[in-house]
Every structure is written in C-alpha cells, then in structure tokens.
Structure 1
Amino acid sequence: MDHTFTTDGAQWLHEPSWRVEGDELVVDAVEGSDLWRHTSYGFVRDTAHALLRPVAVGQACEVDVHASMSEQFDQAGLLLRVDEERWLKAGLERADGRLGLGVVMTDGRSDWSTAPVDDWAGTWVRVRVSVAADSVTVRARPEGGAWQLVRLVPFATSGAALAGPYCAAPSRSGWTARFRALATTSADDALH
C-alpha cells in the first residue's frame, strides 16, 4: 500500500498549486477546471487536476476525500483515465445546494449519476475504484461506515490506465480539496 502523496512515480494532469500538510494532500483548484465531454451541456472540458499513477487490472485505487464542498460544482474524488476521451471520475460534488456522491463515465461522451449524501458533509469519505478486465466497480463509505456500491460500469482499459485523486472547480476560485490515505490495493472480488 502507498499512503504517501509524493510525486515519485506519479504525474500531474494539469498541475495545480498543491502541498502536503501532515498526512494530507491539499490542492487549490483553478477556477474553470473540470472534466466533461459533450452530453447535454455541449462542451468539452479536460482541465481538472489529478495526481495519477498506473493502475492495472486486478487493482483498486482508493483515497479519503474531505467533504468540504460548499459551492456549486466543487468536486473531488478519484479519476481513472485511459486518455482524454476514456475516463471515469468518482467522488463528491456540490450541485444545486446538495452534496452528491456520483460517477461520471466517459467514452467519447460523458454521463452522470449522482445521489444525495448531505449527512456526509464535513466528514472524510473513502472512495474506491476497482479495475477488472471489462468493468470498474465504484464504492464509497463515510469514515467509520460500511462500503456502499455506487456504480458498476463496463470499462475495458485495453492496457495502461492511470488513477488517483482529482479535484475541480468549474464555477469559482478558492476551492481547496483535501485528500488522505491514498492507497493501491487488490480490486474488490465481489459485488455483494
């Protein structure tokens, strides 16, 4: 397991201002940063910040995200990325006055699934993305809580994929994301 946030073996996608404070990675998201492709909104955004490392079939990437989103579209979680047209982001996002737990799966075009988790606000939430040969399983849990299945999606990596913590601030400046306990583990082997 890797519980550090050094950049050894990792690469930034759109490197922001960042720092390590104790055991936390603190990232200042740039205003207008986002990940999205076409669907409904009509635009393409590939400007989110992510600290990515290789992840293989049979592995999972997980990280704790502090649920401190306070303004529209503040977001943070995990990004699984093959390239600019094939990626999955999973985590927390503030939208329409609610804190949501969601996934955006993108294969040329993005979709978005989300569910309210307002009672998780202000807590640490662990997000896990498990990579299988033909799918990705996304789970999350509030600190001290049980794992919840968030989404199972078809997703073949066809080789190399990268994963790690990501954040974005599509609508404002001043959003700072906090992460801890980054780890690569064995992928979940069961859905239930």
Structure 2
Amino acid sequence: MPDTSIPWHQGAWTHLPEVTVEDGHLDVTAAEGSDAWRHTAYGFVHGSEHALTAPFAVGEAMEVAFRAPWNGEFDQAGVFVRIDDERWIKAGIEFADGHLGLGAVVTDGRSDWSVGFVDEWRDADITVRVSRWPDAIIVRAKADDGDWRLVRVAPFDPDAVATAGPFLAAPTRSGLVVRFTRWVRSEADESLH
C-alpha cells in the first residue's frame, strides 16, 4: 500500500474544536478543559479530547505531523486510536512540569501513562506513527527528519473496529492552537527493530 494522504474533511471529530484549513494545514484550537483519561491515580474520567479519526484496520499505519507552542500545562497533541469510550490510545507530546514529554496513554477501562523527556523537540515538526498489528499497536515518533523512536508496544483487540487520527487537548487553559501538517495512511511497520 503506498502512502496515501487523508483529506482533513474525511475524518470525524470526537468533540468538535475550532478549526481552520489553510494552505493544506489544519489549525485546531482546543477547548479549555479538554482531555482524555479514565480513573487511574487521579480518580476522574475525562472524555472531551479533540480527535479527528478515520477507519484504522489491521495491517495499516497512520502518521500525523504537527507543531505547537508547548507553553500550557498538560498541552498535548499526537495520534488518537479509538475503539470506544473505554478503549483507546493517545500517543504523542505533552507539556508537563516544565518539560516536553513523548509518551502514550493506553486505556482499557482504566488509563496508564508512559512518558520520557524530549525537551530538544520543542521547536521541531513532530511526527507520530501508529501501526496496527493483529494483536498490538506500535507507536513511533520522530522530530523533523530525525530517526524514529519506539514509544510503545501496546496490546490491542484484533477484532475491534477502530479509528485513528490527529488529536489535541488543553486540560488547563484556553488558546492552545496546534498546526497539523500531515495525515497519512500506509502499511503497518513489519518489525519493531
């Protein structure tokens, strides 16, 4: 399968944000308080993220490229993979405690979070790639034209009907604008290494 760009208008939003399409870019403004999380450690359930998703089958990969100002606590953007309200993955960048973190939240009734600092990516064009294997989602990311980094290998229901695409959220502030520059479907990665 060759790389195929997905037009912005072909996705469906989980929660509609303010959107502008200009020169092929999608500029999205997150609503204050938007987030995705279920129960673990914090005790709350948030399901108000802005995710633009399209069908995502076993054997496919999706890549999303974006840039953001990264100056609000818990500002986040990347890729969202969704089965339903209780089973989903968000993977990408989150600004927390003064650091830019690359990570993933995997949710199956309850959320978990893995993250590592990538402060050197602050001014970069960031690309997050998810590959759907028969029993897993493989998450990779890179800054600009750098090397891919493996972020996560997460179990995923092979029989589930899933969607995926760009997402953002701004749990603590208004005014987060993320510029998405690329949304592409291709064949899933064949190897972890």
Q: Is the 8 A contact 1:90 1:103 kept in 2?
A: yes
Query: Within 2, Cα distance between the matches of 1:162 and 1:122?
Result: 29
> Could you tell me the TM-score, scaled by structure 2's length?
0.96
Secondary structure in 2 matching 1:171: coil
Residue of structure 1 in register with 2:132 after alignment? 131
Q: Is the 8 A contact 2:136 2:156 kept in 1?
A: yes
Equivalences for residues 40-119 of structure 1 within 5 A = 40-119=41-120
Secondary structure in 1 matching 2:73: coil
Q: Is the 8 A contact 1:5 1:25 kept in 2?
A: no
Q: Is the 8 A contact 1:67 1:125 kept in 2?
A: no
- Aligned pair 1:177/2:182, yes or no? no
Query: Within 2, Cα distance between the matches of 1:150 and 1:39?
Result: 21
Residue of structure 1 in register with 2:161 after alignment? 160
Q: CA RMSD in A?
A: 1.1
Query: Within 2, Cα distance between the matches of 1:181 and 1:111?
Result: 27
> Where does the alignment leave 5 or more consecutive residues of structure 2 unmatched?
none
- Aligned pair 1:32/2:33, yes or no? yes
Query: Within 2, Cα distance between the matches of 1:144 and 1:173?
Result: 31
Q: Which amino acid aligns with 1:107?
A: D
The structural deviation recorded for 1:133 is 1.1
> Where does the alignment leave 5 or more consecutive residues of structure 1 unmatched?
none
The structural deviation recorded for 1:67 is 4.3
> Structure 1 residues 4, 162: CA separation in 2 closer, same or farther (over 3 Å shift)?
closer
Query: Within 2, Cα distance between the matches of 1:159 and 1:117?
Result: 32
Query: Within 2, Cα distance between the matches of 1:139 and 1:67?
Result: 19
Q: Percent identity?
A: 50
What is the aligned length? Answer: 191
Query: Within 2, Cα distance between the matches of 1:34 and 1:106?
Result: 13
Equivalences for residues 180-191 of structure 1 within 5 A = 180-191=181-192
Residue of structure 2 in register with 1:3 after alignment? 5
After superposing on structure 2, the runs of 4+ consecutive aligned residues of structure 1 that deviate more than 6 Å are: none
Q: Is the 8 A contact 1:139 1:150 kept in 2?
A: yes
The structural deviation recorded for 1:3 is 2.7
Q: Is the 8 A contact 2:128 2:139 kept in 1?
A: yes
Indicate the larger mover: 18-27 or 87-96: 18-27
Query: Within 2, Cα distance between the matches of 1:75 and 1:147?
Result: 19
Q: Is the 8 A contact 1:5 1:20 kept in 2?
A: no
Query: Within 1, Cα distance between the matches of 2:35 and 2:91?
Result: 13
Q: Is the 8 A contact 2:75 2:171 kept in 1?
A: yes
Q: Which amino acid aligns with 1:184?
A: R
Query: Within 2, Cα distance between the matches of 1:112 and 1:75?
Result: 13
